[in-house]
Amino acid sequence: MFASHTASPPVAQPGSAGTFLEEKAFRARTVLVFGTVTDALASETVRKLLALDAESSAPITMIVSSPGGHLESGDAIHDVVRFVASPVNMVGTGWVGSAATHLYLGASRERRFCLPQTRFLIHQPSGGAGGPASDIAIQAREIIQARERIAQVIARETGQPLERVLKDIERDLWMPAEEALSYGLVSRVIQRREELEPA
């Protein structure tokens, strides 16, 4: 879900198997986005994108499997995917939900792929408003503005009418790979790395 900050994921210790595998993926120009979208995950992902972009203009592959998380952290990744000069091939796997769908849509339409078992989730942001009435009113206004913004991004990136998207995100809308393809979230369902070429 789109939510406020959550705990940061554990970081692999130097010399660990996790660090070795991350380095191998980085050398292959592959960025992994797994787990809850947090400010820590966004910072790490943005650093990798900028470093790979500075090194070469060759395509970068980003593999995403995430339930979502903090909207503004997803915004940061979404915008930097568009900011770098290197083309980014976005590959969904597992599940791509909420804020993760938002960052997934940062890639150009022809470069959005997913593996066959991927499920996508789109919905409106949620929040637990509390405190004085004036603060609750401010939070409610921000949630409504975020909902409009998310809907506009989905409509722009899928080609769906804004009115339909606004209706679709009123409740959780789950889509398996083929439905996400029909909806316009995904350009192609692939099974192998060799298929990572724009149509």
* Distance separating alpha carbons of residues 94 and 15, to the nearest angstrom: 28
- Residue 164 in tokens: 């339909």
**Catalytic status, residue 123:** yes
Beta bridge partners of 175: 120
**How many beta carbons lie within 10 A of that of residue 58, not counting itself?**
10
Of the candidates 70, 78, 102, 123, the residue annotated as catalytic is 123
All residues at 6 or more sequence positions from 79 whose CB lies less than 8 Å from its CB, including other chains: 106
3-state secondary structure of 112: strand
CB atoms within 10 A of CB 13: 9
Q: How many CB atoms neighbour CB 96 within 10 A? A: 31
- What contacts 134, CB < 8 A, 6 or more positions away? none
Catalytic residue annotation = 123
